[in-house]
Structure 1
Amino acid sequence: MAQLLGFTGQPLRERLRPLAQEAYQRAPSYIGNIVRASEHVAPDLLRAIAWRAHGYQRHSRLRQQKARHRYTIEEIPSFLPKEWFDTNFAELMHRMNGPDTRLAYSLRRASSLQLTQFITGETWPSCAPQIGIPPGYATKLLASIGKRLNRAGL
């Protein structure tokens, strides 16, 4: 490597510094090219360069990677089963100021919507009809659950 850089007795670090600075200055245009070709680039690479791409306003939003799973929307009920919910959400219910029938009902619906969102990558109102929930209800549910979670500090 030293021969490629024309070794003249200077420390290697000092010789590489100008090359590294030039590469750094040219990086925004290179990253812009990567982001523009994002349909052919792995989502993990896009996440890794996000700070550079967003720092130079090259791409307004990162593409989110869909989870790799084997479930389908048809397997998601409109309500999570009560027994399963009680077992897995007991701590959350306790942290949200104890048992509340209406809250449990809302969380069972919201959990189904969230599972559907994981599969489709869409918003709650967009994926709600796919599991038999009206889109308007999904919007209101998101707002009400969000307020309760904020009050509980979650």
Structure 2
Amino acid sequence: MIRLNRITDISGIRVGHAEDERIASGVTALVFDTPFTCAVDVRGGGPGTRETDLLDPAATVQAVDALVLAGGSAFGLDAAAGVVAHLREAGRGFAVGDVRVPIVPGAILFDLLNGGDKGWGRFPPYRELGYAAALAAQDGAFALGSVGAGLGARTANLKGGLG
């Protein structure tokens, strides 16, 4: 097998992207075929995360079903709910009695000032983008560059991306 030096060279990891060109933002989901043990190091003056405390080795949950990265600053935290919805439909998650709870930590980046239309109304689009990214992870192919969570990424005057 040819290795491309991508995260998917690790067996059991799938990546999916979803983006909205109008808002200049998107979501990337890393979905694991079986729960993965993960860790995190949160830094910076304004981190935006969801369920990263579960990645502490002392936590009850020892593995996660997926990880999600999203644009949208605090609004992007909704993306993990879309990934959770997709995994729940697939019967995935941590068993709590008869209920399965998909464990999906996530992090966001700030892309609110990148020129995209952020007038999305009452509900930001990130939950649906998260669902679409998890669905896209099923096919195994994914792009690099200014896609998914990296679509609207910028630092100063430099365009960002993934990969």
Same fold by TM-score greater than 0.5: no
Higher relative contact order (CA closer than 8 Å, sequence separation 6+): 2
TM-score by length of 2: 0.21
Larger Rg: 1
